[in-house]
Amino acid sequence: MSHAVNTPAEKVNLLDFDRQGLRDFFAQLGEKPYRAEQVMKWIYHRLESDFEKMTDVGKALREKLTASCYVGPPKTVFEKGAVDGTHKWLLGMDGGNAIETVYIPEPTRGTLCVSSQVGCALNCQFCSTATQGFSRNLSTAEIIGQVWVAAKHLGNVPHQQRRITNVVMMGMGEPLLNFDNVVKAMSLMRDDLGFGLASKRVTLSTAGLVPMIDRLSAESDVSLAVSLHAANDELRTELVPLNKRYPLAELMGACERYIQRVPRTSITFEYTLMKGVNDQPEHARQLIKFMRRLPGANKVNLIPFNPFPGARFERSGQDDIRAFQTQLLNAGVLTMLRRTRGDDIDAACGQLKGQVVDRTRRQAEFRKKLAEGVVNAA
């Protein structure tokens, strides 16, 4: 199990347990299950990490907990606010790694974008995280700990003062490649004794791991977002290499099964618009055809490409973006245009970097290409 920086390795991090796990752990300590729920409320409702301050927990139990456990969210290395109210945290991990978490406030909601891995192994061509390669999966504590850190900073009180109304697993990493820890963390986000969010307000975004989408529909009822970015196999394989293993027909099948198995859910398809790459009328027609083959309430989220150093793509022009959206809307496809938020602090979609000690050698390859001028510096 991975531990956040500066935490006692021999002690148990209570953020690693969902409700049932915590009840089982307390049973091992010889305590009644309701005691676990008392402590859980202190951790997630009052955001308290000091057992001594948990006043309705008996002194003997507090001493027992202090001796064998801790509440260890990741340490904040750096944080920064953007002009538009977006806030980014750089959170320290072990071995010189760090991840990023972003809060995006809007008039009717507050969305927290959470990371699932240190780096990412999928190598999507238009994403800054991918250029850094991959180090490891995050533990449950490191995933839910991101929500804990943000909630504490924002003064979030579950069921009362909700600053965080939505969580999206869209930060660094592919969540379905860290399935167990992500599902456990999402269960804490939705638990009444945790952050108490409705299932539809927790969204997992995937590049399209077909078998794991099926597994997710059997084990969870969160909202699903699919990083699509192209509706023809040749172009999508170039942009999202995973498409070679799970092409569009298979992805579509998994999406159909998800809608059937998880009632009252819709799937959002994310589509990053890149100038001259996937933003032409023919690409819109392909996307319309793809959406028509999927029954149920589904929508497209258009994301203008967010540049990063060394990116070989450019953001589509405003006229092309509007024309693309209009073409979809005229065909009856529910289409939203995501406003770019936090790009002045590199917190926009596809820009999250953190610090990754790369195990895939991708960072070295990227830098070499940059030095040779193969990749156009932005």
Q: Does 100 participate in catalysis according to the annotation?
A: yes
Distance CA 238, CA 230 (A): 10
Catalytic residue among 69, 127, 255, 349: 349
Are 315 and 275 in contact, with CB atoms under 8 Å apart? yes
Residue from 100, 142, 174, 270 carrying the catalytic annotation? 100
List the strands of the sheet with 298-304, edge to edge: 75-81, 87-92, 98-106, 109-113, 166-169, 202-206, 223-227, 267-273, 298-304, 334-337
CA angle 321, 327, 332 (to 5 degrees): 125
Q: Verify whether residue 120 is a known catalytic residue.
A: no
DSSP letter string, 4-35:
-TT--TTSEEGGG--HHHHHHHHHHTT--HHH
Placement of tokens 């920064």 in the chain: 80
Q: How far apart (Å, rounded) are the C-alpha atoms in residues 112 and 341?
A: 12
What is the residue type of 371? A
d(CA 365, CA 363): 5
Q: Which residues are catalytic?
A: 100, 349
